[in-house]
A = this chain, B = another copy of it.
Amino acid sequence: MTGAPSDYPLLIGQLLANLPQFAEQEIVSDGKRFTYAQFARRLRQLANVLTDLGVKPGMTVAVMDWDSHRYLEAYFAVPMIGAILQTVNVRLAPAQITFTLRQSCAQVLLYHPDFRELAQDFASSSATPPRLFAMADYEDHLAAAATDFDFPELDENTLATTFHTSGTSGDPKAVSFTHRQLVLHTLAMAGTLANQPDGEGFRRSDVYMPMTPMFHVHAWGMPYLATMLGAKQVYPGRYDPDELLRLQHEEGVTFSHCVPTILRMLLDCRTIDARPLRWTIIIGGSALSEALRIEAHRHGIVAIGGYGMSETGPVVALSRSVRSGSPALLGRAGFPVPLVWARCPRTGNDNQAGELQLRAPWLTAGYRDDSTASAALWADSWLHTQDLARIDADGAISIVDRIKDVIKTGGEWVSSLTLEDLCARHPDVVEVAVVGIPDDRWGERPVLFVVPVPERPPPTLASIHELLRPAISNGTISRYAIPDRIISRSELPRNSTGKLDKASLRTSVQ
């Protein structure tokens, strides 16, 4: 900022500037309906409630809730008073939740009744316990609060949010984002999603419902975008596939986002066949397999791959069909969005791919209380994703694999993702996973885990070999990639955000 009267910091509250244009638009949550005009008043009421609870600029307010209007209100009101919103991953194990709460030193903890015991146990065992605020009393407190509040003008580099990564390796790590970063992510998403081909994006005329939880990377930032645009918003509470489908149908939801696991659950619902859907869903967190994309398409769901991670705010790339000319490519990580620079410096081990490294105005500055990991994340001033990727000729990013999941066998690199995408097409499997295990002769060898179709035997090695033969012939995978072991499971282990837990699969066979 320059100190001039024209200075305009990029603050979350500025996303509300256009609100008079859609004062009557709806926000649906918990069986209730709120207008945006009510939402604006409720933000001022919540600001008064928080202030009365002793919240001051720089303090941390932790929230444990399912997706709701309450969460949306906290997304705005907490940072707008200068405090930091900690979105607690309630899908973690209790010990990990306690770890994240302790690390963030929240002064106030808002909890849904489902988490009362955990919240109270934490408070009573903590040396500096947070003040507890029961969401059960939320509406009463708001109703009793004054409707006036003067939000302060903050520095745009003020921290706005903090949350923990899903912790695929070791304890979850806390990342945080500033007002400026969240505003820029929102602006970039507005331009990106509205510029998608028809039926592949998100515009103000769409109806929005999150299906990645609001505790995880700001539900991919979409509640901020939906609010800035004035779109109708639907918050589904705790995720239940039948309830998600009911809301989609009854509220006319047209735009959502989720991990592949949630999409799989929706497709497995009996109620999904009851009606044709028209629904655009951005898929992230894990790769969107071609088999899943096609199955979704049969139900009227346009599933579109995106790319991001907790550290990246999250969205840095999004797929689209038009320029590539092929809907099959919708499953890719996608095209970098405006202002995002992506590079994949060659590693030497593979002349096709390298670690994906990023620069964008909304990437976290680092991990809380972990300067070593932060420095590694930002070596050479590029964010290191630890994903092996390549930039295709059309500018799109193709993720080859997580660097730690890629299988080194026979002197070549085999992508576990590619192998999974191919094996998932086997008619007798519901789900698959591939991990590499150490092998004296080959370095590593791929092991295939399958969840067979109910009441069907798992596929034989011969049938997998048959399935992979064309991909070997056309050079998609090396001949070393054929798994020589198949392990059948009733389900695959996943972490709190629905990602495959490959570390535990590897451990289980070593």
Contacts and interface: CB of A to CB of B under 8 A. Distances in A.
Interface residues of A, number: 54
A14 B339 contact: yes
A361 B180 CA distance: 12
B6 A363 contact: yes
B395 A23 contact: yes
A325 to B, nearest CB: 13
A391 to B, nearest CB: 7
Contact of A340 (B17, B188, B194, B381): B17
Interface stretch (A240-248, A330-338, A416-424, A479-487): A330-338
A18 B187 contact: no
A129 to B, nearest CB: 31
Contacts of A8: 339, 359-361, 363
Nearest to A340: B17
A17 B341 contact: yes
Contact of A366 (B4, B22, B191, B339): B4
Contacts of A4: 365-366, 378
Interface string A436-475: 0000000000000000000000000000000000000000
Given A6-B364, A6-B365, A338 B228 contact: yes
A195 interface: yes
A348 interface: no
Given A5-B381, A191-B194, A228-B338, A20 B363 contact: no
Contacts of A361: 8, 10, 14
A11 to B, nearest CB: 10
A203 interface: yes
Contacts of A15: 338-339
A21 interface: yes
Interface string A53-83: 0000000000000000000000000000000
A2 B229 contact: no
A21 B394 contact: yes
Contacts of A188: 187
Interface of A: 1-2, 4-6, 8, 10, 14-15, 17-23, 157, 183-184, 187-188, 190-191, 194-195, 197, 203-205, 228-229, 322-323, 335-341, 359-361, 363-366, 378, 381, 383, 391, 394-396
Given A10-B184, A18-B335, A191-B228, 5 more contacts: A1-B157, A6-B383, A8-B339, A8-B359, A190-B194
